[in-house]
Chains A and B, each alone.
Chain A
């Protein structure tokens, strides 16, 4: 009984995936007949296991995660304090805003040449491109969160004896802006993940998931390309899920009453 119910509950999602994979397999295997144009599901799975056996997969995932970590840590460490300073002090905002507005529209990938010139073909170079992609959403959402701190919380804190800027920022503005900061980080992680692939593709790195896509394209191993594409999707999904789970449980428990 409970088994049938379970199928009923999750059945539509699973069924839809199975149908999609079946159609893919049939089209690739019976219609296109060309491993280069469209590798079949079976090709992809068997290449996946070959890669796992060779051990390359883990090095590539770890390399990409390393690039991503460099980017996100730098973006958080620089972006959040900047956003806070801009959101809390009007003059800082006036001083920094023009610079940001000029730099922001430059696509992160345009920084790749300078990333290579400045950092060489290193992990830091890839991390730098990711950092550029991530920092602006983080700055802007932190700033917006700070701008929207309800005045009544600041005043309530002041009459309760919390009057120094540093305390008001720490005890009132940061917690109040947290939902906005968190959503900025999520957007930034999406952008950063895209930058990761591009940075690795354009030769900033000689390892990583993005690098392998380009490398295997040269080798005409489109089945392997597809393996790495799917891996990028799954790893990205996992990072996002993990982050959301952590944030909802730890940082934003108090917002569960509000509609997001």
Chain B
């Protein structure tokens, strides 16, 4: 189960020279249902990545609280998996050794861990490359392996920080479709940061649109379209248009 609840989160970054500092997030609150697919969307610098990192436990909030199933988040935990925008596979480990890393940290033996992660390697279609080193893989394959590595810990929430941002448009589309398949099979709550309206509309149940800095919630858009979604159907385009207009308002606000 993975119910995330964000309550009145604010984050101020302080620098020594500056007084007061920069406010990245201002009083953000929303709830995520178990198994829901949520996209965080907003102009760059709106604090969406910061919010995700606080949820991961890699950063701390200035005030407010995020809970997972009612328990406040204080630090990183394998229950909350994360996929980064940069390629984050450990280059000194092969694909399979990357994917077993989380299980090894739980004290499971390497042979046992390898058996357990087999299904995740299958799930992301990397059977052929499991003994390759990351440098031998394309960007898309590296992100697939990173997703498998996060899934291997069987997290309740999967946090994704623009995981497809560095990929070309076609690979991106393919991975989006694959990610949805994984989501349907695995029943994991997804929090997905993106700056792409297309991506948000194709993927999510709800889109949390944020304002320019300091980031607040501008609007939460429910995407009420059946999956699989066509990328070009009139409904999708209408929704895209609506979200784009929201973002555009933000641009002129500044």
- Residues of A at the B interface (CB closer than 8 Å) are 152-153, 155-163, 167, 171-172, 175-176, 178, 253-258
Q: 13 pairs across A/B with beta carbons < 8 Å?
A: A152-B88, A153-B88, A155-B76, A155-B88, A156-B82, A159-B76, A159-B159, A160-B149, A161-B77, A161-B153, A163-B75, A176-B92, A254-B134
Give Cα distance in the complex from A153 to B75, angstroms: 17
Is B82's CB under 8 angstroms from A254's CB? Answer: no
- Is B2 on the interface with A (CB-CB < 8 A)? no
Pair A152/B58 contact, Cβ less than 8 Å: no
Query: Which residue on A lies nearest to B107, using beta carbons?
Result: A161
The answer to whether B135 touches A254 (Cβ under 8 A) is yes
**Contact status of A172 and B90, CB under 8 A, knowing A160-B149, A160-B153:** yes
| Interface of chain A: mostly helix, strand, loop or mixed | helix
Q: Which of A152, A156, A157, A175 contacts B92 (CB 8 A)?
A: A175
The stretch of B33-41, B98-106, B201-209, B214-222 that contacts the partner chain: B98-106
Residues of A within 8 A of B146 (CB): 156
Query: What chain A residues lie within 8 Å of B136 (beta carbons)?
Result: 257
- Asked whether, in the complex, the Cβ of A257 is within 8 Å of the Cβ of B102, the reply is no
Query: What's the minimum C-beta distance from A247 to chain B, rounded to whole angstroms?
Result: 13
- B105: contacting residue among A167, A178, A255, CB under 8 A: A167
Contact in complex: B90, A156 (CB < 8 Å): yes
Contact B76 A158 (CB under 8 A): yes
Please tell me if B84 contacts chain A, counting CB pairs below 8 Å: yes
Assess whether B26 is interfacial by the CB under 8 Å rule: no
Q: How far is the CA of A82 from the CA of B93 in the complex (A)?
A: 26
Q: Tell me the B49-64 residues at the A interface (CB within 8 Å).
A: 56-58
Whether, in the assembled complex, B86 has its beta carbon less than 8 Å from a beta carbon of chain A, the answer is yes
Give, as a whole number of angstroms, the nearest-CB distance from B122 to chain A.
20
CB-CB nearest in chain B for A167? B105
CA of A257 to CA of B134, assembled, Å: 9
What residues of B have a CB within 8 angstroms of the CB of A178 in the complex? 92
Residue in A closest to B136 when the chains form the complex, CB atoms = A257
Q: Which B residues are CB-close (under 8 A) to A172? A: 90
List residues of chain A with CB within 8 A of the CB of B90.
153, 156-157, 172, 175-176
Most B CB within 10 A of own CB, among A156, A175, A178? A156
Assembly CA distance A176 to B77 (angstroms): 22
Distance, CA A253 to CA B92, complexed state (A): 8
Q: Residue B21 at the A interface, CB < 8 A?
A: no
Assess the B105–A162 pair: CB atoms within 8 A.
Answer: yes
A residues in contact with B92, CB < 8 Å? 175-176, 178, 254
A-facing residues in B81-99 (Cβ within 8 Å): 81-82, 84, 86, 88, 90-93
A160 touches B135 (CB 8 A): no
Q: Within 8 Å CB of A160, what residues of B?
A: 78, 81, 101-102, 105, 149-150, 153
CA distance A172 to B93 in the complex (A): 10
The interface centre, meaning the residue of A162, A172, A175, A258 with most chain B CB atoms within 10 A of its CB, is A162
Q: What is the CB-to-nearest-CB distance from A159 to chain B, in angstroms, rounded to a whole number?
A: 4
Q: Is B80 at the interface (CB under 8 A from chain A)?
A: yes
Measured CA separation A159–B102 after assembly (Å): 9
Q: Are A159 and B106 in contact (CB under 8 A)?
A: no
User: A152-B86, A254-B135, A258-B135 are known contacts. Are A159 and B91 too (CB-CB below 8 A)?
Assistant: no
Nearest B residue to A164, CB-CB:
B105
Evaluate contact between B133 and A254: CB separation under 8 angstroms: yes
Chain B residues lying within 8 Å of A258, measured Cβ to Cβ, are: 135
Once the chains bind, are B76 and A152 in contact (CB under 8 Å)?
A: no
| Residues A159 and B58 in contact in the complex (CB < 8 Å), given A152-B86, A254-B91, A257-B133 | yes
